[in-house]
Amino acid sequence: MNIEALDEQIRQIKRALADLGPMRPGSLSEQYNVCGTPGCRCKDPKKPEKHGPYYHLNYTWQGRARTEFVKAEAVDEVRVQLANYKRFRALCAEWVEASLARAGLQRAAR
């Protein structure tokens, strides 16, 4: 690759970054729980039915681990935000890689 091609690649990465929507780090988990109420359907010895699903978002930000409950109606939106964050991280890695390659070509040209 030459410097001009790397510059174009970096411009495309910047455009893709600008087009990203809201984002958040972490992972979303779906959980089912058993309550403590005697005689509840979740305690049925033959066919127990756990309560749920309940959704939890787990992430670490600025050195603090956090967990948030996510309402069922917000799950799709949160999944999009998580995907945007993963795309953001991948684009940043591509940008750094292209920048390092560009710097290497510049150094070799001197």
Q: Which amino acid is at 31?
A: Q
**CA dist., res. 107 & res. 7, Å (int):** 16
Query: For a pLDDT cut of 70, what percent of the chain falls above it?
Result: 100
Global confidence as pTM: 0.85
* Sign of the dihedral through C-alpha 60, 61, 62, 65: negative
pLDDT tens profile 57-90: 999 999 999 999 999 999 999 999 999 999 999 9
Q: What's the chain's average pLDDT?
A: 96
- Two tokens at 14? 């910047």
- Two tokens at 63? 């050195």
Q: Which amino acid is at 107?
A: R
- Site of tokens 């990465």: 13
pLDDT tens profile 39-51: 899 998 899 999 9
H/E stretch holding 77: helix 75-109
Nearest to 24 by CA among 59, 69, 55: 59
